[in-house]
Amino acid sequence: MEHLIIQYLSKYTTITNDLEQAITESASIKSFPKGKILLHEGDISNECYFILKGCVRSYYIRDGKEKTTEFFTEEQFILPNQYGTNIPSDHFLECIEEVVLNISNPNAEKEAFQKYPQLEILYRKMADIIFVNFQKKMDEFRMSSAEQRYIDLTKERPDLLQRVPQHQIASFLGISPESLSRIRKRLLKKK
């Protein structure tokens, strides 16, 4: 599975033999079943993840209801909000499918970065790209209607519609399941 990590990282930089060795040595790959909660609200978040296979959902519980904020799938990083801070988590991470993850923690990262400085440079470069993309996505989400958010989701991440329960899709879009059903019917009529 390490080859999937190397393949992904090669999109951002040339992977030298030393860098490949660093990635392979620092990899910690584990599988988790569907339904497994990786992080509970209130837990200390000392792990971050790179998804090799599967889907993980991030959500909050507000007023007794789950509010889905993101779905992470293959080749995506999950960096919990309070990662490495010793501040209790304010959200949950749940495996929507069986997942295979590369898991890291602040100590492992520090050790790998000291041993292989090029790994830290690569991670910082990727963090910048991820942050810019996230900011753009949030801006688009805030400025669009529920129907447009659904249309965008069908174009940008159509796999989620087959992998994730509809009530979680609705929560992610910030609407009720009934509203999602009406949007889908309306769009079908337009075709």
DSSP class per residue in 112-147? HHHH-HHHHHHHHHHHHHHHHHHHHHHHHHHHS-HH
Would you kindly state where each structural domain of the chain is located, as residue ranges? 2-143
pLDDT in tens, the chain (191 residues): 778 888 888 887 788 888 788 788 878 899 999 999 999 999 999 999 999 999 999 999 999 999 999 999 999 999 898 898 989 999 999 999 999 999 998 888 888 888 888 788 888 888 888 889 889 988 988 899 999 999 999 999 999 999 999 999 999 999 999 999 999 999 988 87
Per-residue pLDDT at 129: 85
**Cα(139)–Cα(169) distance, rounded to whole angstroms?**
19
Q: For 40-79, give the DSSP string.
A: -TTSB---EEEEEES-EEEEEEETTEEEEEEEE-TT-EE-
Domain at 2-143: CATH architecture = Sandwich (2.60)
**CB-based burial of residue 43 (10 Å sphere; 0-12 exposed, 13-18 middle, 19+ buried)?**
middle
**Cα(4)–Cα(105) distance, rounded to whole angstroms?**
19
What tokens appear for 108 in the block? 């492992």
pTM of the predicted protein model: 0.88
Per-residue pLDDT at 103: 93
Q: Note the maximum CA span of the chain.
A: 59
Per-residue pLDDT at 131: 86
CA distances to 109, 136, 156, 166 from 176, in Å = 40, 24, 21, 10
Per-residue pLDDT at 190: 84
- The whole-angstrom distance between residue 144's C-alpha and the CA centroid of its chain comes to 22
Per-residue pLDDT at 36: 98
Per-residue pLDDT at 125: 86
